[in-house]
Structure 1
Amino acid sequence: MSRPVIFDLFHTLVHGADDERDRVVGEMALMVGVDPAALVAAYHATWRERLVRWDVEETIRVLAGRLGGAPTDEQVTRAAAHRRSLARRVLGSVSTATLDMLDALRDAGHPLALISNATSETAEAWPRSPLARRFDVAVFSCDVGVAKPDPAIYRTTAELLGVAPAECVFVGDGADGELAGAAGVGMTVLRTTEHNDTDPSWDGPAFATLRDLPTLLHQPPGASGSTGRASRTTPTDDLR
């Protein structure tokens, strides 16, 4: 069997849509009667809770309440729908070139998995995205209650694939210390810079476009593999 390949999602397979996310959160603030800039700041400050604990409705209620708001159920539902619409748009924006690359890997026999630090609306949108049918396993932090770089999320994904972590290749941009987390459980790590040069301090192999990945994976053993290291763990908060 060809080696399983595990991908990050935002800034790896699709753009993170950071500016659009902040715009949408500001619009949600108007829907629930709080200050837009304050709600955007609150979203950024609570990235960890939103990744592993709160769904979109709870996030809106909690953060609006902290900002002095008291939104009705109807207002919360409307704001949540706005956020869910963003998730669908971003997942639907995956390029044809990326889909072709994934198809090429599957045709070559590589099992494919996803590990994403993502909030509930992304996990909800995933099954209807063009990416979903190309993956054997998809693990979201909001579903399993842990986020990268916690070793548990990598081990859970490998277990679902039916392999040991050391048999897997992890591909990501490097947000949230994900590269070091993957290396720490024994995965081969490849850093992509196609959408964002998130962790230039990583000293393992990197590549600029996803279409190069199938060639890298078929190089002789050791030519592309490295455990490497990362010195930055700052969250990018992509669609979170």
Structure 2
Amino acid sequence: MIKAVIFDLYETLITEWENGEQKYTKRLIDIGMNESLFNKEWSKRREERMNGTFPDFYSCMEDIFNKNGIVPDKLLLEKHFNERVKAKEKAFENSDQNVLDMLGKLKKRGLKIGLISNCSPEEVAAWAGSPIAAFVDEAIFSYQTGYAKPDLEIYQLACKKMGVEPSECIFIGDNGSDELNGAKKAGMHPFHAKWFSKHWNNEKYSDYQAINEPKEILDLLFMSAEKGESI
């Protein structure tokens, strides 16, 4: 019996994209390092940014600059940070009504709702003010845990906090970070969220059943329950 639905955040409950373009385009700020080199160094530290090895934006930037023998301009770094926060906040604005309706109906049916997001602190600075947050029983942010999807531990942590077994959960995400395979290995029932994919330039693929509209989650759960079928 399914007792909980656990979601990914970006490109599942919220999106950074609209009509093929990002909602907020960050201003290019000269931070005192070659842009190509910086992008390479930033990407190289993604896992450490997600799992909390770097507790915040500035600790990661300090490491990048130190490893490359450059003294950072703190004022420029602050401007770069502010642009990053603005870009991420934009994704939380104007929540998709179809998503909100779906979450509300799941709650009315007595299902627990969870969230597992690979993120650094500035990426979820606007979370508490989002209407989506009111529907979520447990929000697991990777930087707070020491783990990141697809590590089994982060799925297990979510289940423990929600008081459910992995087999009692479905996991829904856009398949970033190999999250659907991670959920499967953890014992959950993964499904591929595609309702925001029409806005992207590059769609993610998987072998898991696609859900093309939020309302299809309700059909999937409740029609199966009425027929006495398992997910």
Deviation at 1:216, TM superposition (A): 1.0
Deviation at 1:67, TM superposition (A): 4.8
Aligned counterpart, 1:35: 34
Matches within 5 A, 1:79-90: 79-90=80-91
Deviation at 1:91, TM superposition (A): 2.1
Between the aligned partners of 2:44 and 2:21, the Cα distance in structure 1 is: 16
TM-score under structure 2 length normalisation? 0.84
Give the 4+ runs in structure 1 shifted more than 6 A: none
TM-score under structure 1 length normalisation? 0.81
Matches within 5 A, 1:93-112: 93-112=94-113
1:88–1:23 distance in 2 versus 1, CA, 3 Å: closer
Deviation at 1:159, TM superposition (A): 0.7
Aligned counterpart, 1:154: 155
1:91–1:65 distance in 2 versus 1, CA, 3 Å: farther
Q: RMSD of the alignment, in Å? A: 2.6
Aligned counterpart, 1:127: 128
Instruction: Indicate yes or no: 2:17 matched with 1:11.
Output: no
* Residues 206-215 or 89-98, more deviating: 89-98
Between the aligned partners of 2:146 and 2:76, the Cα distance in structure 1 is: 27
Deviation at 1:215, TM superposition (A): 1.2
Equivalent residue of 1:131, what SS? Answer: helix
Between the aligned partners of 1:185 and 1:140, the Cα distance in structure 2 is: 17
Deviation at 1:81, TM superposition (A): 2.0
Select the structure with the greater relative contact order (CA < 8 A; seq sep ≥ 6): 2
Deviation at 1:77, TM superposition (A): 2.6
Between the aligned partners of 2:23 and 2:71, the Cα distance in structure 1 is: 23
1:67–1:92 distance in 2 versus 1, CA, 3 Å: farther
Equivalent residue of 2:77, what SS? Answer: helix
Matches within 5 A, 1:1-240: 3-17=3-17, 20=22, 24=26, 27-28=28-29, 30=30, 32-52=31-51, 53-54=53-54, 55-67=56-68, 69-196=70-197, 197-200=203-206, 202=207, 204-220=208-224, 225=231
Equivalent residue of 2:131, what SS? Answer: coil
Aligned counterpart, 2:200: none
Pairs aligned (count): 220
1:37–1:151 distance in 2 versus 1, CA, 3 Å: same
Equivalent residue of 2:106, what SS? Answer: helix
Mapped contact 2:7–2:115 kept (Cα < 8 A): yes
Aligned counterpart, 1:238: none
Mapped contact 1:27–1:36 kept (Cα < 8 A): no
* Residues 119-128 or 207-216, more deviating: 119-128
Gaps of 5+ in 2: 198-202
Between the aligned partners of 1:96 and 1:36, the Cα distance in structure 2 is: 38
Gaps of 5+ in 1: 226-240
Aligned counterpart, 1:229: none
Between the aligned partners of 2:139 and 2:5, the Cα distance in structure 1 is: 12
Amino acid at match of 2:186: V
Between the aligned partners of 2:138 and 2:119, the Cα distance in structure 1 is: 15
Report % sequence identity: 28
Between the aligned partners of 2:64 and 2:130, the Cα distance in structure 1 is: 28
